[in-house]
Amino acid sequence: MVLTKTPICDFGRKAINFKLKSIYNDYITLNEIKGENGTLVMFICNHCPYVKAIIKELVNDCKNLKSEGINSVAIMSNDTKNYPEDSFEKMVEFSKNNEFGKIHYLIDETQEIAKKYGAVCTPDFFGYNKNLELQYRGRLRELKNLVPVREGDSDLFTAMKQIAETNKGPENQTPSAGCSIKWK
């Protein structure tokens, strides 16, 4: 497990379109999941201890952001040959076990989308405004020894709510940290 941190937010960078296979065996594009007030694109996987530490809160935040007009999509880009716990079948299981509900969970088999976004770790969050301009590239919340520090709303939720209301993300953002993406 190599701890990797995300780079600082490149404010205004446009979201990159994609067409990826979902756990329901259909193909989803960015335009199909775009939210009225914002869109959260996140790179996660099934086996990362950092993702496991925050997954319940992340799912809850995504459900609450839906009521703010923000849609969420999770993309898994890891090499499934060398990391079989991130296989498509395990993605389906992970989604059910963590009650993803309306959060789309997609597989990036070629890793092309992760590369185009500049994703570096799991979890890696890209928060876009209604114009699909990047406004957040931070963490969900502080973790200490893989345990979330629980005080109020998460950094991610607060930032995305601000984006929904003002179209702008917070100037000060703390990078997300997690396991590096497992490149082929």
Lookup: tokens for 38: 């914002």
97 alpha-carbon distance from chain centroid? 18
Q: Residue 91 above 70 pLDDT?
A: yes
Average pLDDT value over all residues in the chain: 96
- Residues with Cβ within 8 Å of 165's Cβ and at least 6 positions away in sequence, in order, are 37
Q: Residue 2 above 80 pLDDT?
A: no
- Residues with Cβ within 8 Å of 86's Cβ and at least 6 positions away in sequence, in order, are 45, 46, 47, 76, 78, 79, 80, 182
User: Once rounded to an integer, what is the mean pLDDT over residues 174-181?
Assistant: 95
3-state secondary structure 99-145: CCCCCEEEECCCCHHHHHHCCCEECEEEEEECCCEEEECCCCCCEEC
176 alpha-carbon distance from chain centroid? 10
| Burial of 57 (C-beta count, 10 Å sphere; 0-12/13-18/19+) | middle
Give the pLDDT confidence score for residue 51 in this predicted structure: 97
User: Once rounded to an integer, what is the mean pLDDT over residues 48-74?
Assistant: 97
